[in-house]
Amino acid sequence: MDFRVERLFSPLLSGRTDRVRVMSITQNIPENEYHVPVLREEAVGCVVNDTSGVYVDGTLGGGGHSEALLERLSEDGRVIGIDRDAEAIDSARKRLSRFGDRLCCIHDRFGRIDAVLDTLSIRRIDGLLLDLGVSSRQIDAARRGFSYSKEGPLDMRMDGRSGLTAADIVNGWPEKKLSDLFFVFGEEKKSRQIARRIVYMREKTPLESTTDLADAVRACTPARWHIKSLSRIFQALRIAVNGEMEELADCLVKIYPSLKTGGRVAVIMYHGLESRVVKRYFRGEEPSFTRSELAFGQKRFDFRSLTPRGIRASESEIRKNPRARSAVLRAAEKRGG
């Protein structure tokens, strides 16, 4: 894959762009329907405090939330859109080209947000928005291996350049480690049976496709649970492959010193583990995630919650976009300096 650095965001760049990959060259993606943004207006309403500020959209995806942010901000307002998926960067950048250098697209991980801001010579930001997980485009592309209902390779990497694939985990991890993974990240009650079945199957021949894994899950769960168990097992593997919990904890901890007083963090979450991390972070605790262990340190952060009960999608949004069903938005404002 070929990368080039683009000086799109000239007012915020100071010539130190070499460490951040700003753009990638990939195949053309039809620009319609990349991903329907969830809780679009609510998220932007929560995160914007100063319309001429600098905001980070850490999960750019198809650019739906960045677009809403840029529409809400004044001409002086800027958005830095980060995504670890080169295809998302390509697509959003093309779709949002009308905003010129008010949008800077960065191909990187939000867990490296400190390095990204440093490279752009940005010391303080007004807000951070995260819409966690994968986009509809990623799920729908069979070749990426995210979906149990589409035959494809067991890959699941959001950034396909390097790192463990789901096949590496399924065929390489010991049974106990697999079962813990399914239990912790997937909250799957049949975790042990599924891990045992995978080990039994891979002794004959390695599991290579999403169908191979789905067959293993179906073989040891009751038919009425198939869809739930498949979703949980695929979710658990995706979280492990992409280090999603480490990324979330790193980003939240690293962004705090760069947030202005009155600056805001808004996170759209889709499962219980993400929720636990974000809730306790907003209460001031420092999250960390190492060796599959979620831990919280002493109170270090000072936030005022803007969404004490979380915000969920309306029935009408869920009807139009079923993906919104499990989404919860939480936001908080920094009080301390």
Ligand X SMILES: C[S@@+](CC[C@H](N)C(=O)[O-])C[C@H]1O[C@@H](n2cnc3c(N)ncnc32)[C@H](O)[C@@H]1O
- Cβ proximity to ligand X: between 109 and 232 the closer is 109
- Cβ proximity to ligand X: between 65 and 279 the closer is 65
Judged by CB under 6 A, does residue 317 bind ligand X?
Answer: no
Judged by CB under 6 A, does residue 160 bind ligand X?
Answer: no
Rounded Cα distance between 163 and 143, Å, is 17
The two tokens of residue 139 are 């799920």
- Cβ proximity to ligand X: between 140 and 302 the closer is 140
Contact flags string 87-116 toward ligand X, x per CB under 6 A: -x--------------------xxx-----
Strand pairing category for 259-269 and 125-131 = parallel
CA 9, 14, 16, 18 torsion: positive or negative? positive
The two tokens of residue 61 are 């995806």
Contact flags string 187-216 toward ligand X, x per CB under 6 A: ------------------------------
Under rule CB under 6 A, which residues in 213-272 are in contact with ligand X? 247
Give me the torsion for CA of 249, 44, 81, 32, rounded to 10°.
120
DSSP E strands in 237-327: the ranges are 259-269, 285-290, 293-299, 303-305, 311-312
Binding residues for ligand X, rule CB under 6 A, total: 22
User: Phi/psi of residue 179, each to 5°?
Assistant: -65, -40
The two tokens of residue 177 are 């480690």
The residues facing 79 across adjacent strands are 55, 103
Least Cβ distance, residue 43 to ligand X (angstroms): 8
Least Cβ distance, residue 197 to ligand X (angstroms): 29
Point out which residues bind ligand X (CB under 6 A): 35, 37, 59, 61-65, 82-85, 88, 109-111, 131, 133-135, 158, 247
